[in-house]
């Protein structure tokens, strides 16, 4: 079993006075922002990650969110780059870059940079984001899935082809060869988080990608893992046996009866409650900072058999 901390990196301030009926107003005006608190928030979380590396944690989960004090990680790639210079073994599980909102070539380049800077400690997760973020970036929500699929194809081309061109619905490139290339070859392991979308589960299985599954209900988690396993088997059946075939490897929320005997457990991503809390408890110099956000749902991970986490 491997233990990862999933860190939302919240602003270390309290806004109870601004909440009506338990909900924070949106947008929360910048007049409530204190730059010193923000600087302290980043410094303390980087220090926790550094301590996690010393204590032997396997990795930290990063995320991308916008226009909310509940998550100050607008760019998980920037945070991974900063943390890579302060750690030696800790992996950076990015869950994930929001592909429909950004230029995919830029994401491919940034992740290749951070993978080189960290000497291969990047786990590249790609997500779609929440509706609010589409309004922020003025991207039609109806285009979300098509943009995601096209962006993911572009990133894989950029990482695996010496020179590539692409003519698509949303992006076009001609004769592109990115520098630097990823440190991990042919590319960092790709992960897709999902909470129940059939199309996303099918896309992850078809691409032989790892799956990061989180939901508040145990039964729903089991159902998603079972469907992911079925889709993976169908992919193998359609393509025939090959080195790229993948099978799900459920983490701790999965019941034993749902695990096939030829699946082996490889990882379990901790929630914030058993990640950052444990890290701060064991790091005496960092135990006095209180949590600023509520606990997120449970998360489990399923990795492709042919692409286990390197460690």
Domain ranges of the chain: 3-193+262-300
Q: Per-residue DSSP letters for 102-140?
A: S-HHHHHHHHHHHHHHTTS-EEEEEE---HHHHHHTT--
Rounded CA separation 12/287 (Å):
14
Domain 3-193+262-300 has CATH 3.20.20.30: yes
Which pTM value belongs to this model?
Answer: 0.77
Residue 276: which residues within 8 A CB-CB, separation 6 or more?
5, 7, 48, 291
Q: For 286-303, what is the mean pLDDT?
A: 42
Most confident region among 9-18, 45-54, 218-227 by mean pLDDT: 45-54
Using the 8-state DSSP alphabet, how is residue 237 labeled? H
Q: For 75-79, what is the mean pLDDT?
A: 98
Q: Parallel, antiparallel, or unpaired for β 210-214 and 299-302?
A: antiparallel
Question: Which residue in this structure is represented by tokens 């590539």?
Answer: 164
Rounded CA separation 187/229 (Å):
24
Structure confidence by residue, pLDDT tens digits, 215-226: 778 888 888 889
Structure confidence by residue, pLDDT tens digits, 194-242: 887 888 899 999 999 998 887 778 888 888 889 998 998 877 555 444 3
pLDDT score for 296: 41
pLDDT score for 45: 97
């Amino acid at each position: 079993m491997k233990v990862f901390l999933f860190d939302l990196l919240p602003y270390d301030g309290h806004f109870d006075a601004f909440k009506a009926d338990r909900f924070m107003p949106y947008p929360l005006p910048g007049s409530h922002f204190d730059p010193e608190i923000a600087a302290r928030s980043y410094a303390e979380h980087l220090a926790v990650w550094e301590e996690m590396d010393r204590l032997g944690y396997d990795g930290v989960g990063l995320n991308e969110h916008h226009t909310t004090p509940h998550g100050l990680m607008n760019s998980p790639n920037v945070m991974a780059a900063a943390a890579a210079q302060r750690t030696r073994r800790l992996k950076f599980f990015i869950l994930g870059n929001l592909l429909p909102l950004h230029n995919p070539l830029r994401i491919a380049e940034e992740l290749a940079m951070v993978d080189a800077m960290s000497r291969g400690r990047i786990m590249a997760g790609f997500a779609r984001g929440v509706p609010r973020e589409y309004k922020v970036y003025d991207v039609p929500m109806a285009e979300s899935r098509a943009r995601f699929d096209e962006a993911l194809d572009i990133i894989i081309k950029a990482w695996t082809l010496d020179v590539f061109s692409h003519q698509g619905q949303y992006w076009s490139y001609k004769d592109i060869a990115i520098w630097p290339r990823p440190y991990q070859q042919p590319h960092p392991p790709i992960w897709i988080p999902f909470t129940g979308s059939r199309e996303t589960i099918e896309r992850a299985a078809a691409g032989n990608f790892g799956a990061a599954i989180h939901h508040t209900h145990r039964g729903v988690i089991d159902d998603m893992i079972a469907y992911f396993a079925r889709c993976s088997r169908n992919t193998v059946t359609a393509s025939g046996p090959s080195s790229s075939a993948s099978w799900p490897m459920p983490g701790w929320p999965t019941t034993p009866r749902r695990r096939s005997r030829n699946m082996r457990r490889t990882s379990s991503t901790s929630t914030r409650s058993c990640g950052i809390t444990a890290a701060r408890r064991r790091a005496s110099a960092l135990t006095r900072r209180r949590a600023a956000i509520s606990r997120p749902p449970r998360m489990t991970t399923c990795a492709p058999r042919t692409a286990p986490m390197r460690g």
